[in-house]
Amino acid sequence: MKRSRTRVLVLVVLAVVFVGYALLLWRGPWWLDGDRLRQHDLQPADGVVITGFRTTLVALGAGAVAGAGLYYTDRTLRHTRERDREQAEIARDGQVTGRYVEAIKLLASERTVERLGGIYALERIMRDSVKDHPTVVEVLAAFVRDQVPVPLGAELPEKALPEESVQAALTVLGRRPQVAEPFRIDLRHTDLRGADLQNARLERVRLGGSRLDRANLIGAHLEESWLRDSVFTGAWLDGTHLEGAVIRGTDLRGARMQGAHFNGTRLVDADLSTAIGLTAPQLAEAMRDGETRLPDAVARVLRAAP
């Protein structure tokens, strides 16, 4: 309804402009210089003035029409480009959706090589499409939780390294693009013993109840992570970033922690009694309770500190 009213208004305006232009073309010379121009029996001098005025007016009209044409052409081109862009975006979304479906099918395969293909296809999607980044991260985290859960109250069989596709999923999560994520990566209650997470970016990760015995976390980023009741016995945590992390009831016995960063870390009932390479200065900015167990030498230095 509003569009119809606008169209009628435009037509009325155009009609008024056309009539006004025709009147100006016909009577304009006399309106402009009526005192000098004759109404009848026109002389050559009168013709020169009238012709000059009308020629100028026609030129101005032609210029206005050309300008309107250019404006209309520009608007048409803009609409065409916008429509083409929308069509390209729709086609691209369709392609991404197709790739995503195929990757999920591969991820559910029983064959390791096909699962690897699915994982790396998801990584490509994550890098190509920012809006699909959160979905891919959550799918890969869910894949890890599904493949290597830690059953409550059950003994875990001995193993040295994670299965190849699980390690690939962890590697992809650890090197994902730096995009704002409105969630924490959920890897709670997962068996990550022996995993290679060196220099991995796992900020704000949830690892509650997970097993990371002998895992390689050298230089890994675990800032603001939740490590409640997780196990890191014998893990490599040299240079690991634990700033702002919550380490509650965590077993870090035998973990190598040389140069690990504890600024703002909360240590609650954590066991670092046999941690290797840990020093008192590292824990100077950490918040720890009386139940946290530290190496004897470190505990003595901290107690003696003012």
- Annotate 170-221 with DSSP letters as a single string: HHHHHT------SS--B-TTBB-TT-B-TT-B-TT-B-TT-B-TT-B-TT-B
Cβ-proximal residues to 216 (8 Å cutoff; 6+ apart), any chain: 195, 196, 197, 198, 235, 236
**Mean pLDDT lowest for which of 53-57, 146-150, 181-185?**
53-57
Distance CA(179)–CA(220), nearest Å, equals 18
Higher pLDDT, 86 or 183: 183
Alpha-carbon dihedral of residues 209, 211, 215, 220, nearest 10 degrees?
-10
Q: What end-to-end distance do the CA atoms of the chain give, in Å?
A: 79
Q: What is the pLDDT of residue 286?
A: 93
Higher pLDDT, 8 or 136: 136
Q: What is the pLDDT of residue 170?
A: 98
Distance CA(210)–CA(148), nearest Å, equals 10
- pLDDT range class, residue 53, cuts 50, 70, 90: low
Q: What is the pLDDT of residue 60?
A: 74
* pLDDT exceeds 90 at position 205: yes
In this prediction, residues 142-167 reach a mean pLDDT of: 90
Distance CA(183)–CA(201), nearest Å, equals 14
Distance CA(181)–CA(137), nearest Å, equals 9
Amino acid at 52: G
3-state secondary structure (DSSP) of residue 259: coil
Averaged pLDDT of the chain = 86
Cross-strand bridge partners of residue 211: 191, 231
* pLDDT exceeds 60 at position 35: no
Residues in the chain, how many? 306
**Mean pLDDT lowest for which of 17-26, 62-71, 238-247, 270-279?**
17-26
Alpha-carbon dihedral of residues 235, 239, 240, 244, nearest 10 degrees?
130
**Mean pLDDT lowest for which of 32-36, 75-79, 102-106, 199-203?**
32-36
Q: What is the pLDDT of residue 238?
A: 97
Q: What is the pLDDT of residue 29?
A: 63
Q: CB–CB of 270/248 below 8 Å? A: yes
Summarize pLDDT for 120-144 with one digit per residue, the tens: 999 999 998 888 999 999 999 999 9
* Residue 97: Cβ within 10 Å count: 12
- What pTM was estimated for this model as a whole? 0.72
Q: CB–CB of 292/267 below 8 Å? A: yes
- pLDDT range class, residue 182, cuts 50, 70, 90: confident
In this prediction, residues 56-83 reach a mean pLDDT of: 75
Q: What is the pLDDT of residue 280?
A: 94
In this prediction, residues 158-168 reach a mean pLDDT of: 92
Q: What is the pLDDT of residue 1?
A: 62
Distance CA(1)–CA(99), nearest Å, equals 43
* Residue 171: Cβ within 10 Å count: 18
3-state secondary structure (DSSP) of residue 277: coil
**Phi, psi for residue 123 in degrees, rounded to 5:** -60, -40
Token reading at 18: 């056309």
78-87, 123-132, 265-274: which is most confident: 265-274
* pLDDT exceeds 70 at position 31: no
Cβ-proximal residues to 51 (8 Å cutoff; 6+ apart), any chain: none
- Distance of CA 124 to CAs 95, 105, 138, 172, 221, Å? 13, 16, 15, 10, 22
* pLDDT exceeds 60 at position 96: yes
Buried-exposed string 57-92: b where 16+ CB fall within 10 A, e elsewhere? eeeeeeeeeeeeeeeeeeeeeeeeeeeeeeeeeeee
- pLDDT range class, residue 77, cuts 50, 70, 90: confident
Q: What is the CATH topology of the domain spanning 184-306?
A: Pectate Lyase C-like (2.160.20)
* pLDDT exceeds 90 at position 248: yes
Domain boundaries, the chain: 58-177, 184-306
